[in-house]
Structures are given as structure tokens and as C-alpha cells.
Amino acid sequence: GWSATYVEPPVITDSQSVEKGIRLSWEPVSGAAAYRVYYRNTLGGWSALGDADGTSLVDTDVRSGHTYTYTIRGLNSDDDFITGYNKEGWKGTYIAVPQISGFTNTLDGAQLTWAPVKGATKYRVFYKGASGWRRMGDTTETTFLDDVVTSGKTYQYTVRCISDDGEEYVSSFDDAGIFGTYYAAPVIKSA
């Protein structure tokens, strides 16, 4: 008779917006030496994105606010397909990392500004303390005022996109952040 081994197709389990694109993750498939990831092209077919030895791959050819569809197949050590694939695919939306572009000293504190991120509706602002990044607050605007600052002190900030309900992060963040030194406005004492 004929003997054959069935190998279950890999299933994408997660997609995350990272600094440079969408990172796709999947569980390992027994018998697969590598994986080939595909994206749905503009004609509705599948185009190869790349191969991975591990269980993740980053699609860097993405635009913020756009949703992409992916699927994956298992390969043996000779680069032959040993699995089928999910014909429906997995959808992932890329949201770019917000970049703080301005730090302004105002009468009320340090004003942070950044460009709007396509596909994002809400932002969470952080400052870096002794124990790492600490949440300051959420906003739907592209500005944020830190009103708890000391004149002459330097601060480090970053911003991350969040879901409308504030429960999930939908973008990565700039770990280096931006540094700014706050100087209080001079106060006239007499005239």
C-alpha cells in the first residue's frame, strides 16, 4: 500500500505592530523545517513574503492604517511543501509608531507634540523614571501637557497608540523617546 503522513497547516496566532512593520507569529508544526509566509496581493491571489526558520516573521512593506491578509505553509528540509494553508488567511492592521516632534516650555509645563498616526484614534504618553517607562495619561489629541515638571530638570518621553477603550496597545513605541529640559517662565516681581 501507500503510506503518507498528514502534517497540519501552520496557523498564525498573532500579529502585532512593531517599530518597522507587522510581526506575525505562529505555533511550530511538527515535521516542518521552515515556513513560507504569503500575503494576499491586489489581484486576490497569494504572493510569497518570505521564509522563516523560526515561528515569526516581520512584514516591513506596510503602511499605517492599512489591513493586510497573510497565510503560511510548512516546508521540509528540501524546501518542499509538507502542509496546506489557511485559504481565508489572517488579517493584521499596521499602526505606525508615534514620533514626538516637539517639546515646548510653556507657562503651565512641558508641551509635547507629535504628528497624527494614520489608523490611530487614541494615544498613551509615558515618561521614563528610575524603574522604566511610566504611564502619564491618555489623549485623543496629538499634544500632551506635562504639568508636573521642575525647572532645569531633563525628562524623557514616548508615546504609544492604544485602542479606543484603552485596553490594548495597537502600536509599538520609540524606546529611545525624546529628551527635553523644562525651564519655567520668568516671573516679573515688580514694575
In three-state form (DSSP H/G/I as H, E/B as E, the rest C), the secondary structure along 49-75 is EEEECCCEEEECCCCCCCEEEEEEEEE
AA letter at 133: W
- Strand pairing of 122-129 and 90-93? unpaired
Compute the mean pLDDT over every residue in the chain, rounded to the nearest whole number: 94
Q: How far is CA 144 from CA 9, 26, 92, 127, 180, in A?
A: 46, 37, 29, 12, 14
Nearest to 66 by CA among 46, 41, 90, 91: 91
pLDDT of amino acid 166:
92
pLDDT of residue 136: 97
The rounded percent of the chain whose pLDDT value lies above 90 is 89
CA dihedral over 67, 69, 74, 79, signed as positive or negative: negative
Which pLDDT band, with edges at 50, 70 and 90, does 4 fall under? confident
| pLDDT category of residue 123 using cuts at 50, 70 and 90 | very high
Residues 7-34 have a mean pLDDT of 93
CA distance 96 to 176: 16
- Between 4 and 28, name the one with better pLDDT: 28
- The single residue listed with the C-alpha cell 513605541 is 173
Q: Kindly state the average pLDDT of the residues 55-74.
A: 96
Quote the pLDDT of residue 3: 82
Q: What is the mean pLDDT of residues 38-67?
A: 95
Residue 157 has pLDDT above 90, yes or no: yes
The letter for the amino acid at 71 is T
Question: Cell match 521564509: residue?
Answer: 51
Average pLDDT over residues 17-35: 93
What is the chain's Cα-based Rg? 23
pLDDT for residue 42: 87
Phi and psi at residue 60, to the nearest 5°: -95, -5
pLDDT at 6: 81
Cβ atoms within 10 A of the Cβ of 107, count?
7
pLDDT digits (tens, 9 = 90+) for 66-75: 999 999 999 9
Asked whether the beta carbons of 70 and 38 are under 8 A apart, the reply is yes
* Phi/psi of residue 42, nearest 5 degrees: -65, -15
**pLDDT one-digit tens code per residue, 83-122:** 999 999 999 999 999 999 999 999 999 999 999 999 999 9
* pTM, two decimal places: 0.85
